[in-house]
Amino acid sequence: MALRQVAERQAESPAPARLYAIGDLAAELGVTHRALRLYEDQGLLAPRRIGNQRIYSPRDHARLVLVLRGKRLGFSLADIREMLDLYEVDPQHLEQLRATLKKGCARIAALERQQQEIALTLKELREGERLVRDLIRQRESEAGQGRKRRTP
């Protein structure tokens, strides 16, 4: 068979989907086995089982990537599950997009509030720091002058 025919045959037949054992998936995405089992318990992943072994599909891999991204952005597991579950609701994925937009906007608003609170806290801490430094300098100066007066 010519090389060209082999290449055409390979292009026609889909490559087998990669399957992951729990250790492989955990290592690839930098999570613990315990985290994977938690995500399974929460309904975020649905590995097949062969005996006692969990086998994760490319779909599980993709969902886990989204779960980890959602966690990084500060979403709860319940929010992430809701957004992921909406993927199957309609072919256009409009419900999922709308829910994601709504939750994303709420998260942005919460982070902006936190940012304002942090800025205020930093301002107060810097003012306190300045006052304490001034008090230290004042008392050190007074202590130094007291020593000078006592010396004959």
pLDDT in tens, 76-107: 999 999 999 998 888 889 999 999 999 999 99
Distances 43 to 92, 108, 140 between C-alpha atoms, Å: 23, 26, 63
At residue 17, the pLDDT reads 81
Residues 6+ apart with CB under 8 A from 60: 20, 25, 45, 46, 47
The segments of the chain whose pLDDT lies below 50 read 1-7, 10
Residues facing 20 on adjacent strands:
56
| Whole-angstrom distance, CA of residue 112 vs CA of residue 108 | 6
Answer whether 32's CB lies under 8 Å from 17's CB.
Answer: no
Tokens matching residue 144: 């130094």
At residue 94, the pLDDT reads 92
Amino acid letter for position 128:
G
Packing angle between helix 58-72 and helix 77-85, nearest 10 degrees?
130
Residues facing 54 on adjacent strands:
49
At residue 117, the pLDDT reads 98
| Whole-angstrom distance, CA of residue 64 vs CA of residue 72 | 12
Tokens matching residue 54: 């969990």
At residue 12, the pLDDT reads 56
